Structure 1
Amino acid sequence: MKKLKTIFMGTPDFAVPCLDMLVKEGYYIAAVVTQPDRPRGRGQKLAFSPVKEAALHYNLSIIQPENVKNDDFYHQIAALAPDVIVVVAFGQLLPKKLLELPTHGCINVHASLLPKYRGSAPIHWAIINGETLSGITTMYMDIGMDTGDMILKGEVPILPADTTGSLHDKLRNLGAGVLSETLQRIAAGTAPRTPQNDAEATYARMLCRTTERIDWHQSATAIHNLVRGLNPWPVAYCKYQNKSLKIWQTRIYNESELCSRPGQIAQITRNGLVVETGKGTIELLEVQPESKRRMKASDCVCGYCLREGMMLE
């Protein structure tokens, strides 16, 4: 079967397995498009995106536009005459004329079971909302935010111990497999095209500082899911003595216990500390005081004078 002439657009680590698959399966990759180098770390040195690192490894042509709506960028892509453009977590919305350029359209690999969790943070919100199933959807892109016709799906269970980090890793590998089958079906002319039901759509909005702060009036289950959903980035937090206390790991201690003072440290345990919530109690297992390293909550109890009866804000 003829391999499609492909342009790959992606930026973060999530996109790399899809690029790896295209190389290993022998696709002609006319160019890799990724975000410009950005300053990172304490030294603010320019750093390559993970996709650029992979493209350099494979000696592929790289394009890094500041704005994909620029006419020069459009003409550069048009001159390559791609059969298909594959987009995986690229980071910019594509204009209509670019979406209509490839013979077989622009194909997106999205980290949710559409139409649920359209938007920029589908993995985070699936965990935060306590979902038990997630997956990958490939779709034909249109000008909407993840609204295009669906092609194929792959599913993975969300386990009780999963975090955004572990689910991310499952989905990044699944995405390569679903994309592989999608491109084979497109080349063979057998790819399905299923419109999304907008009435069933949900939106995974961008995370903000307000989302990250724990509200102890929520239930123990909701707080536990928030901690899982924000691990390893950007990490849930609360305030203690006017300083930030990041919460990395928790477990539900009692799901239904009636509590009178949400946020109060109810008990010190061998593993850490138990906090009252709006419904039930939750045990903090791993925390990070402001300007300190990540540590077991039991160590934080010993070193930061946390005791029963004290309040977390």
Structure 2
Amino acid sequence: MRIVFMGTPDFAVPTLEALIRGGHRVEAVVTQPDKPKGRGKAVLMTPVKEKALEYGIPVYQPSRIKKDEEFFHILEEIAPDAIVVTAFGQILPERILNLPRYGCINVHASLLPKYRGSAPIQWAVINGDRESGVTTMMMDVGLDTGDMLETTVVALDEKETGGSLFDRLSTAGGELILSTLEKAENGTLLRTRQPEEGACYAGMLDKALGKINWDMEAEAIERLIRGLNPWPSAYTSYEGKTLKLWDAEVVSCDEAKVTPEAVNGQIVGVLKDSFLVKTGKGCLKINELQLEGKKRMDTGAFLRGYPVEEGTVLGE
């Protein structure tokens, strides 16, 4: 097929590579405009743009795709059989949706209709789901509301993080799109309308979400830590500095010194390679962390440099 691919972050790269590997003619890649990042504000290309340029594919970066007449005429001239979209970052207008012969097909990182929206991967971990997956869908004017085409189910590991699930689903999405396009071309692709029952939206992530509320149950905090690893990360504070938590496990408070006066967020046990924190229900054993201005490290290394004392309250 003649394909126009639209995508922006790392998650979209395996889908682009799969299209190329699968023998499709990717006539153009559309991605978000380059943006300055970091302290030096250096302008960086999007991961999809970098990959497209490696293959010598023309790249277009409309800032407002809905209003860009020139870009629409370019699409008309390309006349793609299908437009494949993966985490592009802009909503497509109806005239673009209706342009390709086989339509605009989206690769979405959830089992629709659950987790429509921008952050389905992280919320699946945070909410303690046992499985996630990828859905290919026909795009319409709604936000991830189009007819479902195919799905791939992925079981979550006990220590699944947002980052590890991101990698697994991005690979699965690249494999699934080839199957979907093959069926579209040979006329065997089935469309299933999304039910509204079970539908929910996964809102955008921001750094404020990562602030740990120690009144929560230990299990919920542990999932938050995994879900927000590596970005935007779960954090608390220690002696006035931000303390990011990268790995923890739920444990019984039996081996800790939990007095009636102990408050949530209080360090109630200091071990050789970890320390225990009281939560709203149960204790959390902290195994890996990162103090503001320092490198990420296991808690044992941290304790050798910082003599943490029992009774210290995190988050104050």
Place the TM-score, normalised by the shorter chain, in its bin.
over 0.9
Displacement of 1:71 = 1.7
Mapped contact 2:84–2:104 kept (Cα < 8 A): yes
CA distance in 2, matches of 1:284, 1:145: 38
How many Å separate the matches in 2 of 1:164 and 1:222?
15
> Does the 8 A contact of 1:16 with 1:50 survive in 2?
yes
Q: What amino acid does structure 1 have at the position aligned with 2:19?
A: L
Contiguous gaps of at least 5 residues in structure 1: none
- 1:55 pairs, out of 48, 52, 57, with 52
1:79-228 residue pairs with structure 2 within 5 A? Answer: 79-228=77-226
Deviations 1:42-95 (A, max 9, x none): 322111111111111111111111111122221221121111100011111111
Q: Paired residue for 1:309? A: 311
* Structure 2 counterpart of 1:22: 19
Structure 2 length-normalised TM:
0.94
- The one of 243, 246, 250 equivalent to 1:245 is 243
In 1, are the aligned partners of 2:30 and 2:60 still within 8 Å (CA)?
A: yes
CA contact 2:273–2:303 (8 Å) conserved in 1: no
Runs of 4+ in 1 over 4 A off after TM superposition: 255-260
Letter in 1 for 2:300: S
Aligned identity (percent) is 47
Q: How many residues align?
A: 310
Tell me, yes or no, if the aligned pair for 1:301 and 1:307 is still in contact at 8 Å.
Answer: no
Q: How far 1:243 sits from its partner (Å)?
A: 2.0
Contact 1:122 1:204 in 2 (8 A): yes
Q: Which amino acid aligns with 1:121?
A: A
Q: Which amino acid aligns with 1:293?
A: K
Distance (whole Å) between structure 1 residues aligned to residue 297 and residue 164 of structure 2: 20
SS in 1 for 2:136: strand
Give me the whole-angstrom Cα distance separating, in 2, the residues matched to 1:255 and 1:27: 57
Q: TM-score w.r.t. structure 1 length?
A: 0.95
Quote the offset at 1:255 in angstroms.
8.2
* Residue 254 of structure 1: how far off its partner (Å): 2.2
Offset of residue 242 of structure 1: 2.6
3-state DSSP of counterpart to 2:4:
strand
Mind listing any 5+ residue stretches in structure 2 that lack a counterpart? none
- Equivalent position to 1:296, from 271, 295, 298: 298
Aligned to 1:11: 8
SS of corresponding position for 1:181: helix
Aligned amino acid, residue 107 of structure 2: V
Aligned-partner SS, 1:173: helix
Paired residue secondary structure (2:197): helix
Aligned counterpart, 1:283: 285
**RMSD of aligned alpha carbons:** 1.6
